[in-house]
Amino acid sequence: MEKLTKTMFLRDSNKKLFYLFLTAFLLAAPLIITGKYPQHIMVMCGIWVIASLALNLILGYTGQLNLAHGTFFGIGAYATALLVQKMGLSFWLALPLGCAITALFGFLTGLPTLRTKGHYFPIATMCLGIAIYYLIARWDDLTGGARGLFGLPRPDPIPLPFGKEISFETTTACYYLVLFFVFLTILVKSRLVRSLAGKRLIAIRGHEDLAQSLGIDTMQAKILSFTLSTLFAGLAGGLFSAYMGTLMAEQAHYLLSFEMLIYVMIGGIGTMAGPVIGGIFLPILGEILQPLAGFRLILFGLLLILIIRYLPFGIVGGLHAATIYFRHRGTPR
Amino acid sequence: MLGSIYAMVALGLTLIYGILEIPNFAHGALYMIGAYIAFLVITSLGVPYWLALILSAVLLFFLGMFVERFVFRPLYVQPVINSFIAAVGLILILENGALAIWGPAFRRFPRASSTVFHVLGMTVTSQRIIVILTAVLLIIALHFFIKRTRLGAAIEATSQNREGAQLMGINTSLVGGMTFGLGTALAAIAATLVAPILLIYPTMGGPVIGMAFVIIILGGMGSFFGAVVGGYVIGLAETLFSSYVTTKYVDTLIFGILVLILAVKPTGLFGKTH
Amino acid sequence: MSDILLQARGLKKDFGGLRAINDLGFHIYRGEIFSVIGPNGSGKTTMFNLITGFLPVTDGDIFFKEEKITGLKPFEVARKGIARTFQLTTLFARNTVLENLIIGHRGTREAGLLSSILGSRRARRGEKYALQRAHELTDFIGLAGQERVPAGALPQGAQKQLSIGLALASDPELLLLDEPVGGVNLEEMDALIHLITRIRNSGVTICLIEHKMSVVMNISDRILALNYGEKVAEGTPAVVCCDEKVIQSYLGKTYVAPRGSD
C-alpha cells in the first residue's frame, strides 16, 4: 500500500536506515563532540531548528509569509521567563503555559491579519511584529524594557528513582532537552503535513480560490496553521530563555524573523528537511563568520537573494532536482 | 514638515509598487543609503549641501535601476512572495553594509543653512522650511511629469498593464527600471532633506518605511493622491500625537491600528485592487 | 421531468455603474445537462461566480435543493454539493495528479487536525479511503497511469480532464463546468465529451458554459441563452437554436435568417 507522501530522493528502505543512523548520531553527539562551545552551538541550533520548522509550517506549507515569527519567538521567551521569574512557577509548568500564551496571541492576531489578501499579509505581520516589539521593549515594569530580564534559572531537575535526578545545569543536559523537543516538533509536523488535514494547507499554498471551490474553509485552515506555528515558535523561545538565562527585547525584533526566514529559505522551503538543514548549517556558518561581524548578515542577505533567484527551493530542492536528473540520465529515451 | 517627508517616501513607494506589484520592502534601506551617500560626499569631499543632494539622488536613481534589473526583475515570474523575500535580503545587505562602513552611532548631518526664523511665536529653522518647500515643489513637478510628458505616460501605462504597454511598443524593461530609479531617487532626496534635522543611523529606514506603509495602506496602493494626502495626514498626526501623548506606546498604537485597518479593508481607503 | 435542483430568481449583479446581470431567472433539473450560451461578455462566468459565491449578488436569490444559498461563502456553497471548474484551467500545478484528487476529496476538507496529528485510526482510515477514491477517479477521468505526473506537466486536454476530476472529487450533486473544451484539439474534445456524458450517467447534474455550438447542441438537454446579462431564451436545443432573438444576439439585429435553414 503506497503512502500519501511525495517520493524523497532516497529509496524508502535506504531512507529508514539513514534516519536511524542520523538519530543514533544525534543521540551520541555530545559524547563525540565534547567541549563547551561546540555543544552550546548544538543547543542553539536545536532551538533554531524548532523555530524554523514552525515558520515553515505557515510559510512553506500554507504559503503565507509571516514576518512576525521572530516576535512570537520573543513572546514565548518572555512569557516563559516571566512565569518563572515573577510567578515562581516551575519551568516544566511555565513552558507549556508559555506556548499556550504564544498560541493565544497567534490566534488573536491571526484573525485580523489572515483576512488580508495576497501580499498584504506580510505587511500586516510586519506591522504586527513592530507593534509588539515596541510593546515589549518599552513596557519596563513587565519586561524590563531595554535592559531585559536576567538571571533566569535553568529548568528544575527531574527526579529519578533511587534519589537521583537529571539536572540541567550542564550544556549537555540542555542539549538532550532541546533534542527531545526537536523530535517532538518533527513528529507533530510530519504527522500533520502528511495527513488529509495537511493537504488543506498545501491546497491553500497552491491556489486559494481553487481550495475554496473544493469546500475547504481556507480561513479556518490558515488560522489553524498560524496558531500552530506560533505555538512552536513560542516553544523555541521558551527553551531559549531557560537555557540562556538572559533575555532582551532583541529576541522579539523583526530581524529575528528575517534570520529564520533565511534558515528556511536556504535550507529548503516546503520540505521537512529544509528547516532542519537551514537551522543547523546557517547558525554554524554564522558562528564561523562571527569575527566578520557585520559582514555575516551582508553575506546572508546576498545568499538569500541568490537562493531566491537560482534555487528557490533551497538546498533540499536542489538535491531533489539533482537526484531526479541523475536518476533519468542513464535511462534510454 | 514630517508630512512632507512621509509624502515623498510614500510617493516613491507608490511609483515602485506600480512596477513591482509589491510594495518595496527595501525602500527604507535605500532611503537610508541616500542619506549616507550625501553624508559621505559632504564630509569627505566637502561638497556643498545642494550638490550633495543632487548627487545622492542621481546615484540612487542608478542604484534603483540596478536593483530592479538584478534583484527584482528575474523574480517577476515567481510568486509574489519571493520578491518580498528578496527585498528582505536586500535590506540585510544595505543595513549591515552601512553598519559596517559607518558604525552604529548616530551621526550629525551638516545643515544647508542655519538661519532661524521666529514665526507666530514658534521657532522654525530654515531647514524645515527648505524641506517643505522642496517637497511641495517636487511633488508638483512629479505630478506634471507623469501627466504631461510622454515618459510619464509610459510609466503610468506600464504600471497599470505591463503586457498591454509592451504591445504598444513601450520598452517596459527600461521604463520599469527608470520608475524604480525615480522612486528610489525620491527617497534619497527625502532622506537628505531630513537628515540635518534628525540624525542619521543605519536603521533609520525602519520607522520611516513603517510609516510609509501605513500611509500607502491608508491612502491606497498605487494612488498618487492617496500617497501625498496620507503622507501629510500621518505626519501631522504623529507630530500632534507625540506632543500631547506620551511617546512610549505611540508606535505600538499606530501599527496596531494599521493591522486592524488592513483586516477590515485590505486595499486601503483609496486603493485600487490589483 | 425530475425535480428542480437549482433555481435562480431575479438575479442582478452590478459592478459599479455596470449592470452585468439583469433580472435573470432560470432553473436546472436534476440529472440533466444544462448549457449556458451567449456572446462574450454576456455574463456567463459572472453567473457561475454568483452561484458559487465567488461574487456577491446585488439582488435576487439562488436556491439549491429548495435551500437558499445566496450570500454563502464559496466553500460553504461547495459543501452543499456544488462544484465548479474555472475558465482558465486551474489546478494545483506543483502537485501530482493523485495528490490533486486527494486534496479535492470530500474527506480532506473535514479531516480533524488533532486526530490527524495523533494519528488516530479514524484519520488513517480517512487517508486510505481518500487514496482509494483518488485512484478510482483517475481511472474514471481517463488519466490512468499518470498518477505521479505533476499536474502542471500535463498537456492541455489532460489538464482539463484533471480539473473536471478535481471538481468531481468532492462528490457534488451539481457540477458547473466553465468552458470545459476550450482550447483543446478534436481528439481531446472527444475524450472530454465522453467524460461529461459519463459523469451525467453516474448521476451528477451538469451545467456548462460553452462556445462550441456543435458540442452544446449535441449533448445538452436544455439550454439557456444570455445576452447582455439577460435571459434571451431557455429551452431544449431544438427550440433555442432557432429562436430569432438568440440568432440576433450572435449575429446582430440586421441579420435575417434565410427561410428553410437551421
pLDDT for B274 equals 35
d(CA B182, CA B149): 15
Query: Residue A243 above 80 pLDDT?
Result: yes
Is residue C89 in some structural domain? Answer: yes
Flag whether A touches B (3+ CB pairs, 8 A cutoff): yes
d(CA B153, CA B159): 10
Average pLDDT, chain A: 83
Query: Residue A294 above 70 pLDDT?
Result: no
Per-residue burial over A48-63, b if 16 or more Cβ lie within 10 Å, else e, is bbbbbbbbbbbbbbbb
| Residue B89 with chain A: CB contacts under 8 Å | 262, 300-305, 308
CA-based nearest residue in chain C for residue A207: C92
For strand C59-64 and strand C4-15, is the pairing parallel, antiparallel, or unpaired? Answer: antiparallel
- Nearest Cα neighbor of C180 from C223, C205, C216, C144 is C216
d(CA B262, CA A132): 17
Query: Residue A54 above 90 pLDDT?
Result: yes
Domain count of the fold of chain C: 1
Domain region containing C236: 4-251
Most B-contacting residue of A75, A309, A310 (CB-CB within 10 A), to test interface: A309
Cell of C207: 451545467
List A residues 168-227 in contact with B (Cβ-Cβ < 8 A): none
Most C-contacting residue of A5, A186, A195, A232 (CB-CB within 10 A), to test interface: A195
Cβ–Cβ below 8 Å for A202 and C103:
yes
Query: Residue C194 above 80 pLDDT?
Result: yes
Report, as an integer, the average pLDDT of A282-304: 80
CA-based nearest residue in chain A for residue C113: A197
CA-based nearest residue in chain A for residue C176: A213
- When mean pLDDT is compared across B27-31, B74-78, B89-93, B249-253, the lowest value belongs to B249-253
pLDDT for A330 equals 54
ipTM of the complex: 0.86
d(CA A229, CA A216): 20
Average pLDDT, chain B: 73
Beta sheet of C33-37, edge-to-edge order: C82-84, C174-178, C205-209, C33-37, C222-227, C230-235
pLDDT for B89 equals 83
Average pLDDT, chain C: 86
So where are chain B's domains? 2-202
H/E element holding B254?
helix B250-264
A94 or B151: which leads in pLDDT: A94
Query: Residue B271 above 50 pLDDT?
Result: no
CA dihedral B24, B28, B29, B35 (to 10 degrees): 140
pLDDT for A106 equals 93
d(CA C169, CA C101): 6
CB atoms within 10 A of CB A330: 6
Report, as an integer, the average pLDDT of A166-176: 81
Cβ–Cβ below 8 Å for A2 and C107:
no
From residue B255, how far is each of A128, B6, B198 by CA, in Å? 6, 15, 22
H/E element holding B168?
none
Q: What is the DSSP letter of C183?
A: T
pLDDT for A103 equals 94
| Residue A1 with chain C: CB contacts under 8 Å | 128
C177 or A172: which leads in pLDDT: C177
Report, as an integer, the average pLDDT of C168-179: 92
- When mean pLDDT is compared across A95-104, A216-225, C232-241, the lowest value belongs to C232-241
Q: How far is A126 from chain B (nearest CA, A)?
A: 9
Please, what sign has the CA dihedral across residues C62, C66, C72, C75? negative
- Quickly state the pLDDT bin for B245 (edges 50, 70, 90): low
d(CA A186, CA A49): 10
The top-scoring range by mean pLDDT among B21-35, B113-127, C190-204 is C190-204
Contacts of C98 (CB under 8 A, 6+ apart): C131, C134, C135, C138, C147, C148
CA-based nearest residue in chain A for residue C52: A213
What subunits make at least 3 CB pairs under 8 angstroms with B?
A
List A residues 96-115 in contact with B (Cβ-Cβ < 8 A): 109, 111-113, 115
Contact between residue C141 and residue C193 where contact means Cβ atoms under 8 Å apart: no
Per-residue burial over B159-170, b if 16 or more Cβ lie within 10 Å, else e, is beebeebeeeeb
Q: How far is A301 from chain B (nearest CA, A)?
A: 4
pLDDT digits (tens, 9 = 90+) for B152-167: 777 777 767 767 777 7
Query: Which residues sit opposite C14 in a β-bridge?
Result: C19
pLDDT for A7 equals 44
Of A124, A126, A131, the CB nearest to B251: A131
Report, as an integer, the average pLDDT of C82-95: 90
Report, as an integer, the average pLDDT of A187-210: 88
Asked if A291 has any chain B CB less than 8 Å from its own CB, the reply is: no
